Structure 1
Amino acid sequence: MTPELVVLALAGLLQGLQFAAYSITAQQQVGTRYAASPRDEPRQLTGRAGRYQRALNNHFEGLILFTLAVVVVVLGDGSSGLTATCAWIYLAARIAYVPAYVLGWAPWRSLIWAFGFAATMLMLIAALL
């Protein structure tokens, strides 16, 4: 398996951990009864639960682009030291992004996000060259 695919699998596991953290904090905020309901009347999550939710949604968005980059690199037989390094930078940034978002580290959260995004874009550019 290429390093990029390994990182993609690890990013998927990270997404699962983020979902668990979001689910636990959201349920603590809204209660078990509401969490198990059809949620016809939505409730806005605030505080830590809201931040976990937004960090999770942000990772869904980033993971789409990262997955695209991995697919292009791997199927295009373009795996290299550069693309592997970019993949690991993406994962490190996503791991760091969760506490940065949840704990409100401004402006560090945005800088961490930018590193992950830049690494993904660099992977795509490298695949085209």
Structure 2
Amino acid sequence: MTADLTALALAGLVHIIYFLFFSVRANRELDLDYALGPRDGTPSREPSNITARLGRAYDNSAAMFGLFAGAVLLIAVSGQPSTITAVLSWAYVVLRVLYTPAYMLGLTPWRSVFWIGCLICCAGLYIAALV
């Protein structure tokens, strides 16, 4: 497996771990009936700021993961893995690992710096596929 695909696999695992972390926190804070039900209404309690941030960070991660996965798969299918694409892929993983805690803890401007770094990594991978 190429370094790019290994980074993609790890990014997927990081995404799952952060989802589980958010999910466990949210289910502990919200009532069980709401957590197990169809979630048509609003919960009887609001989540804490940290849990709400984790939810937003997860939503962002879900959106960004598609961009990253598409870029890495494009590199793999086109047979263009390189040192540059490996560095961009691994930088993406490191930045994603840093992003969620930064968002959860309200670390400005670092949350935005990590997010922009992830976007730059994805753009670099797409550019590398075109070159």
Query: Does TM-score exceed 0.5, indicating one fold?
Result: yes
TM-score, normalised relative to structure 1: 0.95
Matched, 1:91 2:93: yes
Cα deviation 1:61-113 (Å, max 9, x = unaligned): 11000011011100011100000000000000000001100000011100011
Q: Aligned partners of 1:46 and 1:127: how far apart in 2?
A: 42
Aligned to 2:15: 15
Identical aligned pairs, as a percentage? 36
> Which of 74, 77, 81 is matched with 1:75 structurally?
77
Q: Counterpart of 2:81 in 1: which secondary structure?
A: coil
> Which of 47, 50, 53 is matched with 2:49 structurally?
47
**How far off is 1:26 after superposition?**
0.7
Aligned-CA RMSD value: 1.1
Q: Aligned partners of 2:47 and 2:6: how far apart in 1?
A: 33
TM-score, normalised relative to structure 2: 0.94
Q: Aligned partners of 2:102 and 2:119: how far apart in 1?
A: 16
**Which amino acid is the alignment partner of residue 53 of structure 2?**
R
Q: Aligned partners of 1:53 and 1:17: how far apart in 2?
A: 13
Q: Counterpart of 2:61 in 1: which secondary structure?
A: helix
Cα deviation 1:25-50 (Å, max 9, x = unaligned): 11122122220111110345441111
Q: Aligned partners of 1:84 and 1:42: how far apart in 2?
A: 44
> Which of 94, 103, 106 is matched with 1:101 structurally?
103
